[in-house]
Amino acid sequence: MTMDKIQLIFFFIGGFAVSRLMIKARLPHRIVFWFIGKKQLSITKILFYLIAISAILSFFIPNAITVLTLLPLLELLRRSYEESNGPSKSVATMLALSTIYGANIGGMGSITATPANGILVTYAVLNDIPGIQYLSFASWLVWGIPLVIIFVAIAGLIITVVLRPWRYQQHNIQLPFDAGETYHPFQKITVWMTLFYFLSSFILSLLMMYFSGRTVLILFISGTLTLLFVLFLFLFPVKINPDTDSRQVLLTLADCYNELPTRGFLFVGFAVVLAAVLYAFKIHEFFAGWASGLIPTGIPVYALFLSIALATSFATEVLSNTAVQLSFFVIALPLAQTLGLSALEMLIIITLACTSAFMSPIATGVNGLAFGGVKGVSFSKMLVVGFFLNIAGALLISGWVLIVVDRLF
């Protein structure tokens, strides 16, 4: 394993600690209140706020945890609307889908944001994929953040055009709680710790990329900073209230496993075993030969990438995204070698596309949590909106990797 990938392990550890601290400090709730406050907002504005908020939160905490955090808010917003205007499956659907889309898309912005990104790095390292040295925390942010911004805008546009929230413009929604209910004494220091984590990770990742002769020193600094960062969170008591001398550590061991999506971790383990079985029986070689035989000679690279993105996205609608990702990985690697294309770019497309499954509640944990957690969500409307967003996502992802990511690599 190369030095920069060992450095990524340190970043994953720091990112996990930051995500748990944000949950404990109720920072997501505070961010929601900062965006929306006590204003009377139209349904259209609420939808765009929800997409943006869930995307931003998914940069820092796992997208499934983002949805779990926002579910109580969605229910409050739905009830607030229905108390004044009566039941509406359309409004409930728009609230749930906005959160689903933002959380799934936001996970594309950072290499540490979703398990799928971590699986990509692990698979690329184990198989010594050419170009893996360019897959770093900093380089991912460079192309990931603009991708998320564009994708969020497209998702907001599609949900607006298809579900037409302007029909409810005369019915505004107000958050049914005040700022005091979102307060936690750790929020200010949590913001500073989060900024420190992202800035230090970005700078150290750049140093690792551009000072190849100092990799051991940079890795030592990264490991030391991560260790000190974690020790500070778990062992250094901070003041809870400036008016008293009461102190408390920022994190405990219980904070690290409370409300974790254990079912998701179990399924990831199952998917890894499934991929190992497929590999052991050389099923991937059969599929690679079959798939390459279907590809016409001289097909444009963009058409091939688009086909891979579409196949991955729609396959994820009926299978777990992790299982699809790993299964397509073992197919893509020999296929790329056969066609003389970049295997790493194919793997990135598969990783992003398996996160871009928006039609079915079973496609991702995020989809299932929001669909089941908000009363009255319409499955048929989720299918229609998700279908258009799947296609838009495949077009965007394949083009983005071919034009933007390819130049960076």
Start-to-end CA span in the chain (Å): 19
Confidence of residue 48 (pLDDT cuts 50, 70, 90): confident
pLDDT digits (tens, 9 = 90+) for 131-147: 777 777 778 888 889 99
Q: Name the token pair of 400.
A: 């983005």
Helices (H), 295-320: 301-316
Place of tokens 């994929």: 129
Confidence of residue 268 (pLDDT cuts 50, 70, 90): very low
Measured CA to CA, the distance from residue 185 to residue 206 in angstroms comes to 34
pLDDT digits (tens, 9 = 90+) for 211-236: 767 778 888 888 888 899 989 888 88
How large is the average pLDDT for residues 77-99? 75
Q: Name the token pair of 251.
A: 């994190």
- Overall domain count for the chain: 1
Confidence of residue 294 (pLDDT cuts 50, 70, 90): low
In this prediction, residue 289 carries a pLDDT of 56
In this prediction, residue 391 carries a pLDDT of 93
Q: Is the pLDDT of residue 356 over 90?
A: no
The residues with which 248 forms a beta bridge, in sequence order, are: 238
Q: Is the pLDDT of residue 271 over 60?
A: no
How large is the average pLDDT for residues 185-192? 85
The pTM of the full predicted model, rounded to 2 decimals, is: 0.76
When mean pLDDT is compared across 8-22, 74-88, 181-195, 218-232, the lowest value belongs to 74-88
pLDDT digits (tens, 9 = 90+) for 377-394: 778 888 888 899 999 999
Measured CA to CA, the distance from residue 350 to residue 345 in angstroms comes to 9
Structural domain of 303: 3-408
Sign of CA dihedral 305, 311, 313, 319: negative
Angle at 85 between CA 84 and CA 87, to 5 degrees: 115
Measured CA to CA, the distance from residue 229 to residue 226 in angstroms comes to 5
CB under 8 Å to 181, separation ≥6 — which residues? 29
Looking at per-residue pLDDT, the higher value among 80 and 198 belongs to 198
Share of the chain above pLDDT 70, in %: 76
Looking at per-residue pLDDT, the higher value among 60 and 345 belongs to 345
Give the mean pLDDT of the chain: 77
Q: Name the token pair of 111.
A: 């290499």
Confidence of residue 19 (pLDDT cuts 50, 70, 90): confident
Q: Is the pLDDT of residue 266 over 50?
A: yes
In this prediction, residue 195 carries a pLDDT of 87
